[in-house]
Amino acid sequence: MFFRRGDSRDSGDKGDLNLEYLKMLRVKEWIKFFAPIPLIGAILAHATPFILISVGVIFFCVIAFGFVVNNYFDVEIDLRNTKKVRRGNNPLSSGRVTKRGTFALMCVLLAIAIALACFLSPGISGVLFTLLCISLLTLYSVNHIRLKERFIVDILTHGLMFGLFPVLAGFTLADGDLNLNLNLNLNTHILLVAALFMIIGCESLLTHQINDYEEDLGYSSTTVVKVGLKKGWVLLASAVLLSIAILELIVHYFDIGLVLHSAAVAYLIAYPLYTCRNRNELQSVINTYSVYAQ
């Protein structure tokens, strides 16, 4: 599919090799969490089933592209990290796929996402937000820029490319009106929801960096590596409190009902605790929440 016989060190069964390219997408790592976010934006714009499916396909390709790009530019780092090599997260670093085939895979994902966004979008906004996601996903990993190793910028970029921009892209691809004019009078509802998911996107990276702290030491300059694990927990707790504050603003301006409100608060607290449940420092973050609550 994305290779010719002899491109890989193992020139065996094509089905097995294609499976290795599919592993580059790392779908299991994001399908349950990141994929619904642009769909929420589309639902807020009252999207039809066809548009919902189309937005889902667009961002399946966009997010998969981001993970393939990450693998593509992280080869040297992953080769030095024996634990990641053993887990097989990056088939490119173990030579099971080729750089040429991986580049072709990225081009296919981009072509599908951009072509479908151009077809679906009633205006320029949907395509623009989709392209902003793609651009940040690329700059996040690409050599010499690598926003993923820029202090605090890595956290903010993660929130933008997996939270804020996908919500706005889904909304505008579904013909939602941001009501942007010369006075910058924006739709408060959708912006608050997008801001909430931006903070959740920031939390997602913070939990990942906390969980991978020991593995990243000496290999990657993440924000948590630079500030230390204890301050990383404080950053995560602060992000959770900010997400709850934004949720309360949404509840203040829009009646979402007591059940949904309670469920959302429970999720915002439970998500980081569940994600970091295997860390020995879990009690520390619970204590940090207690301090903030006093």
pLDDT in tens, the chain (294 residues): 444 444 444 444 555 667 888 889 999 989 988 999 999 999 999 999 999 999 999 999 999 999 999 999 988 776 665 565 556 678 888 788 889 999 999 999 999 999 999 999 888 999 999 999 999 999 999 998 999 999 999 999 999 999 999 999 999 999 888 865 543 445 788 899 999 999 999 999 999 999 988 888 877 889 999 999 999 999 999 999 999 999 999 998 887 888 999 999 999 999 898 888 766 655 554 554 454 444
CB 170 within 8 A of CB 140: no
Examine the fold and report which residue of 131, 152, 176 is the final residue of a domain before the chain moves on.
176
pLDDT of 287 reads 53
Which residue is associated with the tokens 């994001």?
30
d(CA 171, CA 165): 10
Q: Which of 158, 257, 249 is nearest to 206 (CA)?
A: 158
Report pTM. Answer: 0.84
Q: C-alpha angle 87/88/89, rounded to 5°?
A: 95
CB atoms within 10 A of CB 104: 15
pLDDT of 281 reads 56
Enclosing domain of residue 26: 15-176
pLDDT of 280 reads 61
d(CA 152, CA 18): 37
Domain count, the chain: 2
- Report how far apart, in Å, the C-alpha atoms of 19 and of each of 6, 14, 28, 70, 196 are: 16, 8, 14, 18, 36
pLDDT of 292 reads 47
Examine the fold and report which residue of 149, 176, 203 is the final residue of a domain before the chain moves on.
176
CB atoms within 10 A of CB 186: 13
Q: Which of 69, 89, 185 is nearest to 134 (CA)?
A: 69
CB atoms within 10 A of CB 184: 7
pLDDT of 274 reads 86
d(CA 192, CA 256): 13
Examine the fold and report which residue of 176, 201, 236 is the final residue of a domain before the chain moves on.
176
One domain for residues 64 and 44: yes
One domain for residues 36 and 168: yes
One domain for residues 115 and 252: no
Residue 84 lies in a domain: yes
